[in-house]
């Protein structure tokens, strides 16, 4: 069965180093907390708010060992008024037998505001 693992983080400014460092930190925690093996990953979608254009966050995942062949796509979020700025969101589709309640969705930095109901239980 395919399950979605959600994650989000924010950066303080649109600079490549910030985008890549925050994306790497987020993805590492998503992978670690959910014990994700890249061989079980169907795809990863990464979106950014319209105020981020300095780098593709997918570049961060390419640095991980054995993730070279995992399909990754970046896209832009719709520009919703008063949306959380400088936000990177991830949806990782993983083949797993785990039930939904055992999936750890990861929210870091200011993105904890997006899903406080999930961040209280993930230890972030």
Domain annotation for the chain: domains and CATH numbers: 2-119 (3.30.1330.40)
Catalytic residues: 6, 62, 74, 77, 89, 107, 115
Supply the pLDDT for residue 12.
97
Tokens standing for residue 87: 């936000």
Condensed to tens digits (0 to 9), the pLDDT of residues 27-50 reads 999 999 999 999 999 999 999 999
Supply the pLDDT for residue 113.
86
Q: Is the pLDDT of residue 24 over 90?
A: yes
Tokens standing for residue 44: 């990863």
Supply the pLDDT for residue 121.
47
Supply the pLDDT for residue 2.
95
Sign of the Cα torsion 59, 36, 121, 102 reads: positive
Please compute the mean of the pLDDT values over residues 64-84 and round it to a whole number: 94
Helix, strand, coil shares, percent, the chain, to 5: 30, 25, 45
């Amino acid at each position: 069965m395919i399950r979605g693992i959600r994650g989000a983080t924010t950066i303080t400014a649109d600079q490549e180093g910030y985008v890549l460092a925050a994306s790497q930190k987020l993805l590492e925690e998503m992978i670690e907390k959910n014990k994700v093996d890249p061989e079980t990953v169907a795809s990863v979608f990464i979106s950014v708010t319209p105020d981020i254009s300095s780098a593709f966050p997918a570049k961060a995942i390419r640095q991980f060992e054995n993730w070279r062949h995992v399909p990754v796509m970046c896209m832009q979020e719709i520009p919703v008024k008063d949306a959380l700025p400088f936000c990177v969101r991830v949806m990782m589709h993983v083949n797993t037998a785990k039930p939904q309640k055992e999936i750890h969705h990861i929210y870091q930095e200011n993105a904890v505001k997006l899903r406080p109901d999930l961040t209280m239980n993930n230890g972030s």
